[in-house]
Structure 1
């Protein structure tokens, strides 16, 4: 008999179908729910293993977040073993089979009474350890089982603080980058409440990176926080909705929704609101040659209506391959009214002129971002991975302003001006990272990143002359900016239980171009730099470790520093950019220790930084008008000490604080004027959280920043306090918050510029803010505050 390929295929399909039907008829399904014996609470992620009569493992699974499990077997004689850390192992060997289905119902397991091994005890309690170039905060059951949110988990990390409105800071600075599983993510966007879809029991650990290795781009922020999620994530619906109000106006509605299945994680966030941000200002410009003085005082507003939406999905192709696609869109409508009063006096204190300058500004700002990310884990080790990602962002501003000067008394000072700005910004980041743990001791990392930035800023100023508006060519321009940065890196690490070292090298090429299209003035810079890094750590004892690190960093001048347009919003205190500005480079050395003693933890650092071509704002004085321009001025040596502590006095009282002292030496000159001097600056923050009965939390935070010497003068000291009250209701599913920013209205920025020919004083403050919010978490989501998108 001759079999054609089609006949073979048909017979094969028939054979497999018969075998599959037979297997299904003879397979047995087991299901049940695992709970704690004393509390009847479900136990998630318990290990369920099925053995045959020869004690060979035949099948296995874990319980979900509700303690449920289900598995199938074709074995006739078997037993089931249930185990989870901290509980007695339970074995079941007798079953009642009904139509090939065994329902074990509720299975109770008891906590272990015997003393656990020391290492196991540590694993159950949150603890910080050093890992060469980072500190790793392992989230233990003391946090993950308490129903805390991701923000509350972050707030337990030494050096990290999360205020009652959800703003995250690292070592006192809010300029911190948030990553999820080592990559940028819409879930990590601080401008929304997307973190509300992450709860503490989903977090494996949180990495704190203050002196980044060569793996990270050389232009840094104050640090990086990387949230590592557990493989076993909550299935089902998670989300929250929130409403907020406040004075000055701060009104918003927001919602987050997250749907997790075995293969998909779908998330979305919606928001809308209105807010105003007043700024009170006053100042003095004094001409020391003529004796003339010009005073100004007024209030600027930035009112904004905003809408935003975020959509994204993680697709788990299989156990080792994940594809992420996400995007967000926001639309803002701005209104910026302001009014400033000016008064000029001669050397004899006689009034020369008194006038009012009013501003009417309207703008629309569309912006969006999108991300495509692929992660592959290799079979031999889950840390052996490849991550490839593409991230795109776009922002536009269509702005129109009208300025009117009206004389009150003295010499006439009437003027009308109009400004139109057409601004378009886009950047694209393409990145690939490969990590290979060669063995338990050696690890190799390598990767590349390409960042493309492009900006077009068409700026036109018109002045009212003889009954019509005429373009002022000296103030108008169309500025085009592009910067492309290509980076390649490699690191090699040697790490054992107590000691390790990690060395790395990053190479970055920067291609910068600027062009003033109206005057055909261009600036081109192309430079390649090496950025070496070296990190080491040593574990002296279980509760005491030290870490040392070196890295070279770069600050590339941003568009605001380079664009030479003159801002005329305040036409007696103007600022302009400098297209010839060069990047500044910093060699950073840091020695850090971490010490834990019972309920207290202390992180202390000694650091030294040497910076060349320091970018400083230089003030010049022309016709009683101060002009601020960034310049590269010499070098800066800085040595400092920083300490961060947290003390959990008991289950209702927590203290945390930061202290930073910095001594610096400046050397440089500009236009034959020497700027050599030494100075010091210190800052401190002390916060306390008090937990009252009925799920009421009170948070008080005091801050102080000392005065410090600047290139041409002094910045004054200031102190302020924030307060917040939070109440959990509906068994913690809903939260009501009340916040007061700057309780005593004392956060006032004062700057003094003192030069041989002029003096300048400026004073700015935001005033006291009151906020009220309510949030409700549904499904397995956590209630949290939503305050809308960050301003650009």
Structure 2
């Protein structure tokens, strides 16, 4: 479509004015009907322009009605007609017959044109943030932050949200965040899966950032909720896209997305396959300050994965008011985890007494099944009057075996062989019912219930090779059973006027948790009921300034691996284990936020306070140069913070987005008559610069800084790192070439120092630079996508 011609047409209409469009005696009436060429449905509001053949300038025009019809009059026979509408290729008619002062063009079909859509509308559609009553809404546009990208890339451009190199999502620096799809748990957002990376930016309508969730949402997750709202897809026919990626270290993948829509059904499928390597360099120092002996260890670990992922589902539109959705996901991973660690044992005089190498060979298979069933009913009185039932279930299994070989290099004999096996199975089912009823334009009530069942079994064993015979280590062998059920009911009431709104809610949750160590007959049963109130209000001072305040009570239940008491013996001098007696954290969260729209600049300023009880922190115990860390509940933490997000777009080829977060916290706690009271602060900053370069290239660079953080026993060092990306559309916008570099300067280093009275610990870990090259192509009415995937957490 020629956009300039349409602008000229509208300008001509304004100049001519209504008075000049009054029919004259010699006028010729032009009529016709405009239809969608694929669906044969009428197109409303299509532009009908009549132009002069000699000058090629607009004469007059009209728009089509609800039935696609139009009628327009001209005073000359030397004219042509051009029909256009956003999303369709323009059609020009020059051959016609004038009969009795009239031209009947009949039915005029328009065909789809995705390139035209990109040229006309995409450039004006930019991502932006706005306030709602209890959330911030990031409306996904077609700027570089989303074009040709995956959901993970879009999330990384949302203020307060960060996606790290392994696909882990954090909100305000915390990974205790819950990911929802259309307001509910989903197969596509399950932790540790690859499916979230296959959601393309063109599928996303908006992303809701809920840092202080209302009682409607699960009380789990202290840092909040991210809700990805998928567009209501209306494009009929077959749509899809395919992508290929390669990278260094090895990161190769293939993704395919297909969607077929009819009047009743929307069939969708996604599949992906690939191979990735995740190297990790590590360095550890364990120093006994009583005996002045030290264990030094340096090594390189790999987590190599071959993965397959398949999603199949359908939306069945029973009628205009009832929709049924059923989908399933199967994922399968084959893991290979080779590692080699070099050890040395040094005495007080600095003499090396022994050196040895520990080599690991770990193999694992991880099958995973998931299902999702959803029924939604819309009521006739209001589009917001809805009933939604959803069921989400998943099963994850891990069959893993490891062998460890210690080989002496010098000094005393350190030879030894160990092996471990793990048979892990987890099943989780979530059932949810939500009902929303608007009683007026301003007042809405929500109520519902949720039931979550989580059942886990982990059969774990360690064996040592002694005199040619495998001997079971009973201290590290057991069967861990974990059974948790959470039942919740909630209710909220909201008033939202043109300027001011208020939302109040209450959620009641009962948690029934049982853990059982079968071999040693150790049990831990917990049953508790908690109230989670919430209150939110917002006020719009003007079109440019809005304020928002909120309160909620949250819970962070111990994760499975925090409770599981089994040891990770990859480095048998630095061991992590769980604590089956761990209690949940409870947080009272308050915040006051404001948003300012100042011309080309938008600012979001937030003040927040969080008070947490029974804080979970990993504590080190040290014996015989072996450091064992275990999570414990230690005291309280009060944190007060300031967050500033801003975006400045001086012109259409340059933009800056910044995010600064500062918080001061006060820790109080005691363990074994030792006080852990202290005050500290921390801050982080992120700046993203986006450039539109010549030849259709888009460039993006992000720099981040995370300050040092004081913990109860240790101090986490600061980090500074940068990521960049380059993207170019090809093949009339249907294809996308992209390159990304994560941690450009290989400066993202995790360093922890623990300096206690009796021992000193130093830990350093680094993954290094990741480079990815990709090509994506959209076919049908699909758009190019990028296939990505998160690393598993199991």
Stretch moving more, 476-485 or 566-575 = 566-575
- CA shift digits 1:41-89 (9 cap, x unpaired): 9xxxxxxxxxxxxxxxxxxxx9998797536xxxxxxxx97479xx964
1:70 aligns with 2:73: no
For the residues of structure 1 that align with 2:280 and 2:604, how far apart are their CA atoms? 36
Paired position in structure 2 for 1:704:
705
- CA shift digits 1:258-291 (9 cap, x unpaired): 1122222111111111111111001111111111
Change (3 A) 1:582 1:392: same
Stretch moving more, 410-419 or 203-212 = 203-212
Partners of 2:648 and 2:655 within 8 A in 1: yes
For the residues of structure 1 that align with 2:521 and 2:717, how far apart are their CA atoms? 42
Change (3 A) 1:162 1:457: closer
Structure 2 residue matching 1:212: 3-state secondary structure: coil
TM-superposed CA distance for 1:127, in Å, is 5.5
Paired position in structure 1 for 2:278:
277
Paired position in structure 2 for 1:55:
none
TM-superposed CA distance for 1:164, in Å, is 11
TM-superposed CA distance for 1:172, in Å, is 5.7
Paired position in structure 1 for 2:53:
none
Q: What is the total number of aligned residue pairs between the two structures?
A: 708
Paired position in structure 2 for 1:378:
379
Paired position in structure 1 for 2:22:
none
Change (3 A) 1:255 1:163: farther
For the residues of structure 2 that align with 1:187 and 1:163, how far apart are their CA atoms? 18
Change (3 A) 1:394 1:193: closer
Paired position in structure 1 for 2:633:
632
Paired position in structure 2 for 1:104:
107
- CA shift digits 1:470-518 (9 cap, x unpaired): 1111111110001110011000111111111101000000000000100
Partners of 2:355 and 2:408 within 8 A in 1: yes
For the residues of structure 1 that align with 2:295 and 2:609, how far apart are their CA atoms? 42
Partners of 1:197 and 1:781 within 8 A in 2: no
For the residues of structure 2 that align with 1:428 and 1:660, how far apart are their CA atoms? 36
Structure 2 residue matching 1:474: 3-state secondary structure: helix
Partners of 2:739 and 2:771 within 8 A in 1: yes
TM-superposed CA distance for 1:161, in Å, is 6.6
Give the superposed CA RMSD. 3.1
TM-superposed CA distance for 1:697, in Å, is 1.2
Change (3 A) 1:94 1:731: closer
Q: How does 1:76-475 map to 2 (within 5 A)?
A: 82=45, 89-90=63-64, 92=69, 103-105=106-108, 128-137=129-138, 151=151, 158-159=159-160, 170-171=171-172, 177-186=178-187, 191-192=193-194, 200=202, 205-220=206-221, 222-229=223-230, 231=232, 233-475=234-476
Paired position in structure 2 for 1:514:
515
Paired position in structure 1 for 2:611:
610
For the residues of structure 2 that align with 1:716 and 1:247, how far apart are their CA atoms? 27
TM-superposed CA distance for 1:563, in Å, is 1.2
For the residues of structure 2 that align with 1:498 and 1:234, how far apart are their CA atoms? 36
TM-superposed CA distance for 1:185, in Å, is 3.7
TM-superposed CA distance for 1:767, in Å, is 1.1
TM-superposed CA distance for 1:196, in Å, is 6.2
TM-superposed CA distance for 1:671, in Å, is 1.0
Structure 1 residue matching 2:566: 3-state secondary structure: coil
Structure 2 residue matching 1:541: 3-state secondary structure: coil
For the residues of structure 2 that align with 1:671 and 1:194, how far apart are their CA atoms? 44
Paired position in structure 2 for 1:678:
679
Q: How does 1:479-498 map to 2 (within 5 A)?
A: 479-498=480-499
For the residues of structure 1 that align with 2:139 and 2:410, how far apart are their CA atoms? 67
Partners of 2:181 and 2:228 within 8 A in 1: yes
Partners of 2:490 and 2:507 within 8 A in 1: yes
Change (3 A) 1:483 1:708: same
Structure 1 residue matching 2:788: 3-state secondary structure: coil
Q: Which runs of 5+ in 2 are unaligned?
A: 9-32, 48-60, 73-96, 98-103, 112-123
TM-superposed CA distance for 1:786, in Å, is 1.1
Stretch moving more, 254-263 or 445-454 = 254-263
Change (3 A) 1:261 1:170: farther
Change (3 A) 1:335 1:391: same
Q: Which runs of 5+ in 1 are unaligned?
A: 1-33, 42-61, 72-79, 109-122
Paired position in structure 2 for 1:754:
755
1:573 aligns with 2:540: no
TM-superposed CA distance for 1:745, in Å, is 1.0
- CA shift digits 1:429-467 (9 cap, x unpaired): 000000001111211000000000011000000011121
Change (3 A) 1:463 1:641: same
Partners of 1:331 and 1:364 within 8 A in 2: yes
For the residues of structure 2 that align with 1:599 and 1:70, how far apart are their CA atoms? 40
For the residues of structure 2 that align with 1:717 and 1:204, how far apart are their CA atoms? 36
Partners of 2:34 and 2:108 within 8 A in 1: no
Paired position in structure 2 for 1:693:
694
For the residues of structure 2 that align with 1:606 and 1:680, how far apart are their CA atoms? 15
- CA shift digits 1:550-586 (9 cap, x unpaired): 0000111111111111221111011221111111100
For the residues of structure 2 that align with 1:745 and 1:155, how far apart are their CA atoms? 19
- CA shift digits 1:620-655 (9 cap, x unpaired): 111111110111100001001011112222221121
Change (3 A) 1:147 1:658: closer
TM-score, structure 1 normalization: 0.84
Change (3 A) 1:751 1:693: same
Structure 2 residue matching 1:136: 3-state secondary structure: strand
Stretch moving more, 170-179 or 430-439 = 170-179
For the residues of structure 1 that align with 2:349 and 2:163, how far apart are their CA atoms? 53
TM-superposed CA distance for 1:364, in Å, is 0.6
Paired position in structure 1 for 2:787:
786
For the residues of structure 1 that align with 2:288 and 2:190, how far apart are their CA atoms? 47
1:38 aligns with 2:5: yes
Structure 1 residue matching 2:519: 3-state secondary structure: coil
Partners of 1:158 and 1:646 within 8 A in 2: no
For the residues of structure 2 that align with 1:625 and 1:288, how far apart are their CA atoms? 13
For the residues of structure 1 that align with 2:215 and 2:138, how far apart are their CA atoms? 22
Partners of 2:148 and 2:200 within 8 A in 1: no
Change (3 A) 1:454 1:188: closer
For the residues of structure 2 that align with 1:491 and 1:664, how far apart are their CA atoms? 32
Partners of 2:553 and 2:587 within 8 A in 1: yes
- CA shift digits 1:176-212 (9 cap, x unpaired): 5444432334455795567767664x76554332211
TM-superposed CA distance for 1:173, in Å, is 5.9
Partners of 1:552 and 1:588 within 8 A in 2: yes
Paired position in structure 1 for 2:57:
none
Structure 2 residue matching 1:382: 3-state secondary structure: coil
